[in-house]
Amino acid sequence: MEYLLLIASDETDQPHPGSPGFDDWMGAWMAYNQQLVDGGHFVAGASLQPTATATTVRKTAGAGQIVDGPFAETKEQIGGFYVISAADLDEALRLAEGLPIPKGSVEVRPLAVRPDA
């Protein structure tokens, strides 16, 4: 079964390229990626640009409105995602717990339908 791991954390807590600690931070993510690949769990994944680059299409009564910025005011921002393959929810949760975020949340949700799967 495939699951979405939706990663939310405070984007201001993350080091930027060239800053102290960035290489160690990125190394933890590369190790996690490799763990997913080696275990046959990796399907897809990506990090996202900062929320300042976001544009939202908000639908109201069938009409679309384009709004600059993220969809909601929150303390945590969606920073990336993985689509993983796991035997069951317990395994998906175990893999989500291994994400190298010091604080934040990971929403784990089974995929309902993926036409190309």
pLDDT on residue 22: 93
Asked whether residue 51 is assigned to any structural domain, the reply reads: yes
CATH number of the domain within which 20 lies: 3.30.70.1060
What total number of domains does the chain contain? 1
Q: What is the pLDDT of residues 15-72, one digit of tens each?
A: 888 999 999 999 999 999 999 999 999 999 999 988 888 887 777 777 776 666 555 5
Q: Of 62, 69, 64, 76, which Cα lies nearest the Cα of 10?
A: 76
Asked whether residue 117 is assigned to any structural domain, the reply reads: no
Signed CA dihedral, 90, 38, 6, 23: sign only: positive
Asked whether residue 11 is assigned to any structural domain, the reply reads: yes
pLDDT on residue 69: 58
Asked whether residue 74 is assigned to any structural domain, the reply reads: yes
Asked whether residue 82 is assigned to any structural domain, the reply reads: yes
pLDDT on residue 28: 95
Q: What is the pLDDT of residues 70-100, one digit of tens each?
A: 555 567 788 899 999 999 999 999 999 999 9
Q: What's the CA gap between 5 and 75, in Å, rounded? A: 19
Asked whether residue 116 is assigned to any structural domain, the reply reads: no
Query: Which residue range(s) make up the domain with 96?
Result: 2-110
Give Cα 61 distance to the centre of its chain: 30
Q: What's the CA gap between 78 and 11, in Å, rounded? A: 8
Asked whether residue 30 is assigned to any structural domain, the reply reads: yes
38's enclosing H/E stretch is helix 22-38
